[in-house]
Structure 1
Amino acid sequence: MNWLESIDRNVGRWKTVPGLRSVAKRRYVSRFLNNVDDNLFFGIFDSFDAAAASAPKSRPLGYDNDDSANIPYASTITPHDYPAVFWLNQSFHEGLQSVLDLGGHLGVKYYAFRRVIGFPPGLRWTVCDVPAVVRRGRELARVRDPDGRLHFTEDYDEAARHEVLFASGSLQYLPLTLAELLDRLATKPRRIVVNLTPIHDSRAFFTLNSIGTAFCAYRVQARERFIDEVRARGYVKRDEWQNPGKSLHLPCEDGYDVEHYSGFCFDREG
């Protein structure tokens, strides 16, 4: 590792060293712009639209393109998944049989979780995602899901026809908040399971995410406000957990790092 690579990897440590902060920032920006397979973040913005508008034109914006739709996310269960596995399994034991998987890509969690959860015979699992992902997901499901329980949609409002709303690593990419999505629904899901979501202790902000194939506007929510907004839509918080090892680092920005992502289970009151 040469000295420039060392600065790049340890950019946060050089913030107070005269001259090195600007060198480190330039190095990180170059790495961000030319990223191939890391998950990188840059900048602070006041809105989702402002973050999106800042994206360089060298790559697509968001996941609605073939390269992003074909990112080979592994259909395996990680330690981060187990709280969500527990609450989904509990949901099925309670008789709930329909899941709207918000931002579920190609059905990654459906394929992973079916190996350890006894899915009910009448299960309907619907992934809601962008058009390019939906097209590819349907193609793969014809081969990978012979039982035909996995479905795809581009319509957020489909959540009104499902008993469980599941969002794993997706709320941060949406142009609307979970509370705003719930406001759209004539019938709200009985249970909401959220996982792998960047929740800051006190700050709500937007940044730009480089995923290698594209740049994405990225939402970070403040913990208390996030919970209060969901409660105000008629829900009670049943559980909350941390996702250790999953974090967000913003070089050259003080106080914006998220040390661990978070998960929640909410139940509709009554």
Structure 2
Amino acid sequence: MQLIQALHQRVDALASLPLIGAIVHRQAREAFIANRDQNMFYGEHASWDEATAAAQAFGQAGYDNPESAQLYQHRTRMDPHDYPSLYWLTRSLQEGLRGVFDVGGAIGIKFMAFREPLSAWPDLDWCVQDVPAMVAQGRQLAQERGDAARLRFTDRFAQGEGLDVLFASGVLQYLPQTLGDMLSGWQRLPRRIIINTAAIHPEKTFFTVNSLGTAFCPYRIQTQASLVRGLTELGYRLRETWINPDKPMLIPFRPDLSLRHYTGFCLDLSR
């Protein structure tokens, strides 16, 4: 990771040279557009709508397409950054909470990754919410694996109301609204919120564009204060926060906007 960061620093230094800068910027943009198998970022935007327009200008936008739904076929193992969120999930189950609303859970990748530790609770209700293309793929695979009795899918965020735990792993940055805004209309809020791999900048809220290799997505970066404030206003209190050091976010030519790590949170409803 240090080698990658050093290479980016050298490229950023070249981009500042008058005669070379234009060439370096053009090549970086072309590489971003041509990307097929990397997780890449490009640009800074002031709003979600502005980032959405930029994503559409690059090509196919958003996760809701068959190509993007195939991305996670083999992402069924635990990553190092999953352990803090798994701790809070299993602790929730030990405390008697049973319904998990997995926002942006794709084809159920975390349910599959956590299969062994979750097997101790056969009455677990795990509901994945995602875009229609991802939901269709997830349902088909769950049927083929025999998971359909414990793993269900929906493309409607409102379907999670009433479940005990809201789990959001690597998804807040892809949502057109903040989580606090999305939950503000619910009458029955989840008792616990577990957030993993959130894109948190120490000082600034902004938007960029993420290339998945199959599509381009608007991407939200928040400050910790703004994320937590939006949830404490609904009655939550922060229990714990952690970093995901194995996940940086690098924006070409913008070291001031790039992230050295992502961040996780656990919050409990206090009212």
Q: Counterparts of 2:161 and 2:176 in 1: how far apart (Å)? A: 19
5+ long unaligned stretches in structure 2: 1-5
Residues 12-59 of structure 1 show CA distances to partners (whole Å, capped at 9, x for unaligned) of: 232433322222111110000000111111111111111011124563
Determine if contact 1:164/1:191 at 8 Å carries over to the other structure: yes
Q: Counterparts of 2:258 and 2:91 in 1: how far apart (Å)? A: 33
Q: 1:44 to 1:97 in 2, by over 3 A?
A: same
1:54 is aligned to 2:54: yes
Report the residue type matching 2:35 in the other structure: N
Residues 40-88 of structure 1 show CA distances to partners (whole Å, capped at 9, x for unaligned) of: 1111111111101112456321010000011135100111000000000
Q: Counterparts of 2:141 and 2:119 in 1: how far apart (Å)? A: 22
Equivalent residues in 2 for 1:33-182, closer than 5 Å:
33-57=33-57, 59-72=59-72, 73-146=74-147, 148-182=149-183
Q: 1:8 to 1:255 in 2, by over 3 A?
A: closer
Determine if contact 2:104/2:171 at 8 Å carries over to the other structure: yes
Q: Return structure 1 stretches of 4+ with deviation > 6 angstroms.
A: 6-9
Q: Measure how far apart 1:248 and its partner are.
A: 1.1
Q: Counterparts of 1:257 and 1:126 in 2: how far apart (Å)? A: 33
Report the residue type matching 1:159 in the other structure: G
Instruction: Give the TM-score taking structure 1 as reference length.
Output: 0.93
Q: Measure how far apart 1:251 and its partner are.
A: 1.2
Q: Counterparts of 1:199 and 1:43 in 2: how far apart (Å)? A: 17
Give the match for residue 3 of structure 2.
none
Q: Counterparts of 1:171 and 1:100 in 2: how far apart (Å)? A: 14
Instruction: Give the TM-score taking structure 2 as reference length.
Output: 0.93
3-state SS of 1:259 partner: coil
Q: Once superposed, what is the RMSD of the aligned Cα atoms?
A: 1.8
5+ long unaligned stretches in structure 1: 1-5
Q: Counterparts of 1:67 and 1:84 in 2: how far apart (Å)? A: 28
Give the match for residue 3 of structure 1.
none
Give the match for residue 229 of structure 2.
228
Report the residue type matching 1:151 in the other structure: R
Q: Counterparts of 2:57 and 2:50 in 1: how far apart (Å)? A: 14
Q: Measure how far apart 1:250 and its partner are.
A: 1.2
3-state SS of 2:135 partner: helix
3-state SS of 1:115 partner: helix
Report the residue type matching 1:87 in the other structure: W
Q: Counterparts of 2:79 and 2:137 in 1: how far apart (Å)? A: 24
Q: Measure how far apart 1:139 and its partner are.
A: 0.5
Q: 1:9 to 1:66 in 2, by over 3 A?
A: farther
Give the match for residue 190 of structure 1.
191
Q: Counterparts of 1:59 and 1:145 in 2: how far apart (Å)? A: 36
Give the match for residue 239 of structure 1.
240
Determine if contact 1:8/1:28 at 8 Å carries over to the other structure: no
% identity of equivalent residues: 40
Q: 1:112 to 1:236 in 2, by over 3 A?
A: same
Q: Measure how far apart 1:225 and its partner are.
A: 1.6
Give the match for residue 13 of structure 2.
13
